[in-house]
Structure 1
Amino acid sequence: MTVWEPLAAAVEARLIAASSGERAVFAAGVAERLLASHEALPAHEHDPFTLSLRPLLEHVWAGALGDATASRAVRRGVAEIMLGDHGHHDGPYGPYGPRDEHEPAAAAVLDAAHAHLFGCRDFASWVSGHAVAALDHDPDGAEWPDHEIPGIDEAIATELRRQVRDLDLIATCSTQLHVAGLGLFPSTAARLGDALRTPLSRPA
């Protein structure tokens, strides 16, 4: 057993036990780190589709933190993608195509949007997996063999430990997040943003 497998199991168990509101914030936080990392790349390494997902992630954050009106914007954003050039309803990649699936930040934002809309554990788990996949991601679409990346097991373990810590933090706001989907007072949503978005968005 690798050093990271028990950590992966711990993340999965925590997501199973979490409320839909906790899962939505977790997914938004992981997607934020991946998207911010992509945005920080040199311009010639940017993927235009990935960058175009920033407004969608902002709506996901707003909804996850208690803005009941944001879900409509998330649904509209997802629908536009599914009906546009990046929408694919067949094949192994679900509602978006294989090109985008190979870019972990894009895949994470899209799955975070679905985690917010539907609340099920699968989407949050997939966002967790995208963060792990990003550790050995080749921008040209291939996956590097593990032996070409010294310390990949420890890198995965570090990412999963971060996810466990994120879930610990999110659990401290479980009462508010349990009802966040119904809408929170703006002052409560602002406090949640300060307590959760800022620390969850920090680089690993």
Structure 2
Amino acid sequence: MRGLALGLLVAAGLAAVAVGFRWFFAVYDDLGAYRTAPVCGTAAPTPREDCVRGGTGRVEARRVRYSEDERHYELTVSREGAPTREHEVGEAFYKDAGVGSEVELRVWRGRVAEISYHGHRARTLSPPLLTALALSLLVGFGSALLVQRLIEQPLSVPTSIALNGGWVTFFVFMGACILLEQQWSFALTLGLTVPGWLAAAASTALIFPDWLERRSS
């Protein structure tokens, strides 16, 4: 009976991790889908139509935002029939596109996915942070179940669950935000994701048992 319970624990942990990973790659594919989507056949497609619509926008304002030692270059762009938005661009893009400049837009499902100007391009879709947090919590929970089985700590120890799952959740969330933002190739993303998760999960199995033992002694 104990063996069956442990087996179910491992299966539940693996299932949660697998669902979290599948969810991540679905979001990853969705963020980059506009690059290979066909051009819309109508001037005004529905917001969820899977095609890219071209258009133009006008630079209304520019600003440089400072964050610690980094500079972030932002353009405020207006377009017909939609709210004015701020978009982060590269330094060269920012220097060339002055107020009043007309920029080219690629609109994906009602949102500006990319802006370009005189050879400069900037992807403007931002990673969904709440979704990234939700899938990270799922992976963290599944990992905590697996680690609990690996280090044979009883599930009645909430501190252990919180530490194991919390550390993996934090690590996965930070990694997911970076990978979703960068949109590297699928092979590279997969090559970073799986080893990264294994390293985070393994570190909890190596670090936290000793910490728990010292706390209880």
What TM-score do you get using the length of structure 2 for normalisation?
0.28
TM-score by length of 1: 0.29
Q: Kindly indicate which of the two structures has a greater share of residues assigned to helix.
A: 1
Higher radius of gyration, 1 or 2: 2
Task: Name the structure, 1 or 2, with higher relative contact order (CA <8 Å, separation 6+).
Answer: 1
